[in-house]
Amino acid sequence: MIKEDIDALEQHILKLIEQSKTHTPTEMILGNIPHSTVVNFNYGIKDNPLKVNTSTLYKIVKRLDELEGTKHYYKDLCNLIKQFVEKNIMVASVSYLVSEFGLNYTTLHKLTDYKLKTPYRLITLKQYAEQVEKIRCKKG
């Protein structure tokens, strides 16, 4: 169950990488994205797509939305992350997750910023979801 959700998130990021590659680096950087960010996104995270930072994702998907106009990459990504967090991490109150699951209070609040404005790496979603799953299995 959690494995499928993690795979879906990874596959979505890989699709965004492929979509970004359909545009020239010049088209992407004209959206006020540093060249190194575009290159790293397109080629540096392919083997581990969840190591991308949400601030990078925000810039990329917003630029894709500007360039293509007909797709809603930003909205789709926000919805996917929100569903993942609500289903696999935010299974209880923040205080309960901190005290019983040992998760970080500040990071939990970052994860609930579904607009991708607060930077964190998506690998954190995977780690927290796995930790919650492990503890839930022990308790239930």
Summarize the confidence of residues 34-48 as an average pLDDT. Answer: 94
Summarize the confidence of residues 122-131 as an average pLDDT. Answer: 96
pLDDT averaged over every residue in the chain:
94
Q: Which two tokens stand for residue 30?
A: 């004209």
Rounded percentage of the chain residues whose pLDDT exceeds 90? 84
- What is the residue whose two structure tokens read 């404005």? 117
- pLDDT recorded at residue 92: 84
Summarize the confidence of residues 100-120 as an average pLDDT. Answer: 92
Identify whether the C-beta of residue 53 lies closer than 8 Å to the C-beta of residue 78: no
Residue 105: pLDDT band with limits 50, 70, 90: very high
Residue 140: pLDDT band with limits 50, 70, 90: low
Dist. CA 58–CA 115, nearest whole Å:
8
- Record the pTM: 0.93
Whether pLDDT at 87 is above 90? yes
Q: What is the dihedral of CA 72, 123, 110, 128, to 10 degrees?
A: 120
- pLDDT recorded at residue 73: 98
Output Rg (C-alpha) for the chain, integer angstroms. 16
